[in-house]
Chains A and B, each alone.
Chain A
Amino acid sequence: KAGVTQTPRYLIKTRGQQVTLSCSPISGHRSVSWYQQTPGQGLQFLFEYFSETQRNKGNFPGRFSGRQFSNSRSEMNVSTLELGDSALYLCASSLRGTQGHEQFFGPGTRLTVL
């Protein structure tokens, strides 16, 4: 079974631009969560999608948004990029997104904002 995949793996953007990151979960997994990792703040929860619906959102500004498609693939979008958005963005999938289900992480997308 293929693992969680994320594209692109590396991205360089400039301030003010927008970016879209993609996550394909493990086949059969319906829950996808997104996380931001920075040296200063560590890992922080962005949002979670289950069956195309956002179930939870972390404490991030509205510039961060996401969606999930009917095949469970998910995208996250960051508009009007700021220098502080430079981070490793990780997604994770789980079977149903309910208690007791392990999360499987993708390799991440490293975003650099210049």
Chain B
Amino acid sequence: KNEVEQSPQNLTAQEGEFITINCSYSVGISALHWLQQHPGGGIVSLFMLSSGKKKHGRLIATINIQEKHSSLHITASHPRDSAVYICAVKPYGGSQGNLIFGKGTKLSVKP
């Protein structure tokens, strides 16, 4: 069993829809990252969370440390949101770069 599980693996949505991507992990962590990767490979860090909720524009990320679960929400989705979204956790005691990654969720938003 992977230490970081994401669901769904693939997601197709219509423009304007509300989207949720889930991440569950099995190790104790000190931080969780949500990353966005566009075709071509470049990765952008969207959020780094250790508790609660963060919001940036149309993106919202939440984390429940007790349940070892995080969600990434996209409101009013747009075709430019099409990308792979990756959840990554930093285990307790690890250094900043020592991350464990989920397999990613491929999102396609149709106009």
Q: Do A and B come from one complex?
A: yes
Chain A to chain B: the 4 pairs with minimum beta-carbon distance, closest first: A33-B97, A48-B97, A43-B101, A105-B43
Instruction: Please tell me which stretch of A13-21, A78-86, A93-101 contacts chain B, meaning at least 4 of its Cβ atoms lie within 8 angstroms of it.
Output: A93-101
Instruction: Please tell me which stretch of B15-23, B55-63, B75-83, B88-96 contacts chain A, meaning at least 4 of its Cβ atoms lie within 8 angstroms of it.
Output: B88-96
Q: Is the CB of B48 within 8 A of A56?
A: no
The closest CB in chain B to the CB of A57 belongs to: B98
Q: Is the CB of B98 within 8 A of A56?
A: yes
A90 interface residue, CB < 8 Å from B?
yes
Number of interface residues of A (CB under 8 A): 31
The SS class assigned to the A binding surface is strand
Contact with B along A12-45 (1 / 0, CB 8 A): 0000000000000000000111010100001111
Residue from A31, A43, A58, A90 having most chain B Cβ neighbours under 10 A:
A43
The closest CB in chain A to the CB of B41 belongs to: A108
Q: Is the CB of A98 within 8 A of B41?
A: no
B31 interface residue, CB < 8 Å from A?
yes
Q: Which residues of chain A have C-beta atoms less than 8 A from B94's C-beta?
A: 56
The closest CB in chain B to the CB of A44 belongs to: B101
Q: Is the CB of B41 within 8 A of A103?
A: no
Contact with A along B27-60 (1 / 0, CB 8 A): 0001101010000111111001010000000000
